[in-house]
Amino acid sequence: MTMPVVLTADLQALDEAYEANGRDARALVDGLSEAQGTWQRAPGTWSVAECLDHLAVGNRVYVPAMEAAARRARDMGRVRIREARPGVIGGWFAWSLEPPVHPRFKMRAPRTILPRVSPPLADATHAFFESHERVRAFLREYAAIDLAGVRFPNPFIRGVRFSLASGLHVLAAHERRHLWQAWSVRRALRG
């Protein structure tokens, strides 16, 4: 029998942020038809389904990069010695992802995590929640290691290494950013 993981206050706050993102995503898709979920405001903009698909793809690329470093750290006995706070660069990057998105911080998604064109809403929603839960499982599985001290190569920015704590904060902010974007699409449906 696996013992439940007791999260420290900093990790509990991060897990609660992910839980809030999950609730937000469930509310976002609640009552949406397939047509509404794949509707785009204008050509080249993302639908609700594409926003969710982008998050799923991003999480599926980011987490394995983090897992490799986390496994090595655990095997080496790198136990937690400080709070899981992002570093200066990782913290700034996470902050720059937070909604509402300022025009100065609009970014193009890396090619490797572009959403599929018009994925079915149910499929994109399932993929998002599956990847979202994988991030939360990572947080629990590696809660006892030095998340703030262990670095991994950012899979999207060549030559940049973030702490695992930064990675977790970036993923939470990235989810909030694109859920905010998807909500703006949903609100436009009513207009």
Going by C-alpha positions, the residue among 149, 144, 141 that lies closest to residue 165 is: 149
Contact call for residues 150 and 69 (beta carbons, < 8 A):
yes
pLDDT band at 2 (very low <50, low <70, confident <90, very high): low
Q: Is the peptide bond before 100 cis (omega within 30 degrees of 0)?
A: yes
**Predicted local distance difference test score (pLDDT) of residue 103:** 67
Segment 58-113, tens digit of pLDDT = 999 999 999 999 999 999 999 999 999 998 989 998 998 899 876 666 777 777 77
Does the pLDDT value for residue 1 go beyond 80?
no
**Predicted local distance difference test score (pLDDT) of residue 157:** 81
Q: Which two tokens stand for residue 181?
A: 């974007």
Does the pLDDT value for residue 6 go beyond 80?
no
Mean pLDDT of 162-186: 97
Residue whose tokens read 């007791």 = 6
**Predicted local distance difference test score (pLDDT) of residue 114:** 74
Q: What domains lie within the chain, and their CATH numbers?
A: 9-190 (1.20.120.450)
Measured CA to CA, the distance from residue 173 to residue 93 in angstroms comes to 9
Considering the chain, what is the average pLDDT of its residues?
Answer: 92
pLDDT band at 4 (very low <50, low <70, confident <90, very high): low
**Predicted local distance difference test score (pLDDT) of residue 191:** 62
Does the pLDDT value for residue 3 go beyond 60?
no
Query: Which of the listed ranges 6-10, 22-26, 100-104, 108-112 does the model predict with the highest average pLDDT?
Result: 22-26
Measured CA to CA, the distance from residue 36 to residue 28 in angstroms comes to 11
